[in-house]
Amino acid sequence: MIRDLRSGKMRKLLRTGGPKLLGMLFLCVPVGCGTSAPEKKDAPQVATSPIPVANPKDVQSLDAIVAAIYDVISGPPGERDWNRFHSLFAKDARLIAVRIPKDGSKPSLVVMTPKDYADNAGGYFKEHGFFEHELSRKTDSFGAMTHIYTTYESRETKDGKPIDRGINSMEFFFDGERWWCVEIYWDAERPGNPIPEKYLAK
């Protein structure tokens, strides 16, 4: 959902102020985040634009909305369908990336609205191919809320060599008619932080 670019030159962009979901939203996706997370006293930015109407097929089931999140950020170099992207998220939704400093010091969080993500990732996607897909999923639900751990893998071309893996923690809400993404919170695999086998099993 969703997201800083998760490895190699992508992670370098994150550290130096360039874009990285989804990896991510989904995102392994590019986000501009050269600064640390906002202090608690700062009010989060709230999107004021109306939420675009979603394609019913994108939000009719949990499987459908997860697939749409990965699909909308994936593709060859070029513009992404940001109206479709925004249509998947609830009002005041957030995308949160774990930021790891180059010197290995204390990690921090980069908190974004869907608009923040689109604004920061859009320029990167216009010039770079990026494809992300789901490897595995763990799901828990109660009432109208559902949480999933969805393990992702990222490539620069559709059939290219994997460049990154990690886990997207996604929160969803079902209002009785459609599914909404409430939050995507992700971290990438790296030395000292391997993905546990239980999150790789189908």
Report how far apart, in Å, the C-alpha atoms of 67 and of each of 15, 132, 134, 197 are. 28, 10, 8, 22
pTM of the predicted structure, to 2 decimals:
0.79
pLDDT tens-place values along the chain, 202 residues long: 444 544 444 444 433 333 344 443 333 444 323 333 334 445 444 445 789 999 999 999 999 999 999 999 999 999 999 999 999 999 999 999 999 998 878 999 999 999 999 999 999 999 999 999 999 999 999 999 999 999 999 999 999 999 999 999 999 999 999 999 999 999 999 999 999 999 998 7
Give the tokens for residue 147.
């949480």
CATH number at residue 88: 3.10.450.50
User: Has residue 131 been placed in a domain?
Assistant: yes
Question: How many domains are there within the chain?
Answer: 1
DSSP 3-state helix, strand, coil percentages of the chain (rounded to 5)?
Answer: 25, 30, 45
User: Has residue 2 been placed in a domain?
Assistant: no
Residue 188 structural domain: 8-199
The mean pLDDT of the chain is: 83
Handedness of CA 134, 1, 6, 38 (dihedral sign): negative
